[in-house]
């Protein structure tokens, strides 16, 4: 088991922080001083990248996810091509559905489709929580990535390795709606009306996700990111009433594995103070809120990740550069900023702009 982030923080205050970790990405997650702002990008391995599309020509998305050699290769290629400070394991949010007994597939142009959506208490009761070891292919991919990046880079920094899972609400929404959704009617219907099914679904997801995260940490993940991509669909009241406690419990259990937790959602400006209450070490900001305002809403006792609009990557270089510096200036070199996008890179994004963005961040020294 790794040293707990809380102890690491205390030690940082008491001793010399400079000796604590060699990864500036992990140090920033713990709000320790760094020589420069670490950077990685949401969906850095994806369809915008020719190297990924070359692999995709021969394998489906799920084949890539379920074959550790290929998932590791895709992860490593993206991190090295961009020169980022952290690699996120190539996987998908929905992978835990299979051992839970929920069949799904990715349909071209439509995204994920769950063939029999979970809508009743009986269906929730039937969800399996005892087969998480079937997901060990993700841990095997992480082991390969960790081995590849075991040696420090030329600047002495250790590349951070990020494992991830979905948050209870966002995963439940895919299970209940049967795919992506606009209004989350069935999800909210269960949440509001079934006082047995919703809490049981949350409990089962927390159990499965904790075990899944534990496999990833065991395999070498330095940090776990929890994606609550669609939490922004909730009012503050509903988030508090139905999602805060399960998410807090998941954060707590993952931190108990000895790694910092990044908690990310989209359209979350009004939810930020409540998301902070989960106790996550880092909160991911989308681009709709200026970084300094978002950080203020969270309080200085947590780190932030973000928050360039991913579509800025289509802008001419002078505009893009100005926006990158706007984010860096808003963070003003305070410990605990990880540069990222406000959401994932979209297909069609010019690769050279992505690489240039990473360079600009890395050239910008903390004051």
Rule CB under 6 A: say whether 27 interacts with ligand CP3. no
Closest distance between ligand CP3 and the C-beta of residue 209, in Å?
13
Count of residues that bind ligand CP3 according to CB under 6 A: 21
93 interacts with ligand CP3 by CB under 6 A = yes
Q: Which of 24, 36, 43, 144 binds ligand CP3 (CB under 6 A)?
A: 43
Of 3-11, 18-26, 88-96, 288-296, which part binds ligand CP3 (CB under 6 A)? 88-96
Which of positions 176-215 make contact with ligand CP3 (CB under 6 A)? 180
Angle in degrees, CA 16, 6, 159, rounded to 5:
65
Alpha carbons 147 and 333: distance in angstroms, whole number: 31
Decide: is 56 part of the binding site for ligand CP3 (CB under 6 A): yes
Q: Assess 72 for contact with ligand CP3 (CB under 6 A).
A: no
Q: Under the criterion CB under 6 A, does residue 111 sit at the interface with ligand CP3?
A: yes
Residue 338 per-residue DSSP state: E
**Shortest Cβ 302–ligand CP3 spacing (Å):** 20
Residues 6 or more apart whose CB falls under 8 angstroms from that of 6 comprise 255
**Per-residue DSSP letter, 135:** G
CA dist 61 and 22 (Å) reads 33
Give CA–CA dist 54/33, Å, rounded.
39
Work out whether 12 is an interface residue with ligand CP3 (CB under 6 A): no
> Given candidates 46, 99, 117, 310, which one binds ligand CP3 under the rule CB under 6 A?
46
Closest approach of Cβ 179 to ligand CP3, in Å?
8
Q: Which stretch binds ligand CP3 (CB under 6 A): 39-47, 124-132, 192-200, 290-298?
A: 39-47
Which lies closer to ligand CP3 via its Cβ, residue 110 or residue 352? 110
User: CA 337, CA 283: separation in Å to the nearest integer?
Assistant: 10
Q: Where are the beta strands (DSSP E) in 124-251?
A: 160-166, 223-228
- What is d(CA 209, CA 110) in angstroms, rounded to the nearest whole number? 25
Residue 77 engages ligand CP3 in binding (rule: CB under 6 A) = no
Nearer to ligand CP3, 105 or 241 (CB): 105
Decide if residue 44 touches ligand CP3 (CB under 6 A): yes
User: Is 61 near ligand CP3 (CB under 6 A)?
Assistant: yes
CA dist., res. 200 & res. 169, Å (int): 13
Please report the sign of the dihedral spanned by the C-alpha atoms of residue 53, residue 55, residue 60, residue 61.
negative
Cα–Cα distances (Å) from 254 to 212, 217, 286, in that order, read: 10, 9, 23
Per DSSP, what are the bridge partners of residue 303?
282
Minimum distance from residue 32 beta carbon to ligand CP3 (Å): 25
With contact defined as beta carbons under 8 Å apart, do 99 and 132 qualify?
A: yes
- Catalog residues that contact ligand CP3 under the rule CB under 6 A: 42-47, 56, 61, 88, 90, 92-94, 106, 111-112, 164, 180, 227, 229, 344
């Amino acid at each position: 088991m790794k040293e707990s982030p809380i102890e690491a923080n205390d030690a940082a205050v008491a001793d010399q922080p400079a000796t604590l970790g060699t990864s500036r990405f992990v140090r920033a997650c713990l709000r320790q001083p760094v020589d420069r702002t670490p950077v990685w990008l949401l969906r850095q391995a994806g369809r915008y990248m020719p190297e990924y599309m070359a692999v995709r020509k021969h394998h489906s998305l799920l084949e890539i996810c379920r074959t550790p050699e290929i998932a590791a290769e895709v992860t490593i290629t993206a991190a090295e091509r961009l020169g980022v400070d952290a690699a996120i394991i190539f996987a998908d949010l929905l992978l835990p559905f299979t051992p839970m007994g929920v069949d799904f597939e990715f349909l071209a142009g439509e995204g994920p489709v769950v063939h029999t959506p979970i809508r009743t208490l009986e269906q929730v009761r039937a969800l399996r929580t005892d087969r998480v070891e079937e997901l060990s292919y993700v841990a095997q991919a992480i082991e390969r990535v960790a081995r590849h990046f075991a040696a420090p880079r030329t600047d002495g920094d250790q590349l951070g390795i990020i494992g991830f899972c979905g948050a209870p609400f966002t995963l439940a929404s895919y299970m209940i709606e049967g795919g992506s959704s606009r209004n989350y009617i069935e999800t909210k219907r269960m949440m509001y009306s079934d006082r047995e099914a919703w809490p049981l679904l949350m409990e089962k997801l927390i159990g499965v996700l904790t075990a899944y995260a534990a496999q990833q940490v065991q395999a070498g993940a330095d940090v776990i990111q929890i994606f609550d991509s669609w939490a922004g669909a909730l009012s503050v009241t509903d988030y508090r009433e139905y999602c805060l406690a399960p998410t807090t419990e998941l954060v707590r259990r993952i931190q108990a594995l000895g790694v910092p937790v990044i908690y990310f959602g989209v359209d979350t400006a009004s939810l930020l103070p409540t998301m902070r209450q989960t106790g996550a070490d880092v909160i991911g900001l989308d681009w709709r809120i200026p970084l300094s305002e978002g950080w203020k809403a969270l309080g200085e006792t947590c780190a932030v990740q973000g928050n360039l609009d991913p579509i800025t990557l289509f802008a001419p270089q002078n505009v893009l550069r100005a926006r990158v510096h706007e984010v860096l200036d808003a963070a003003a070199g305070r410990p605990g900023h990880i540069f990222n996008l406000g959401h994932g890179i979209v297909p069609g994004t010019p690769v050279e702009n992505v690489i240039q963005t990473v360079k600009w961040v890395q050239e910008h020294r903390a004051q």
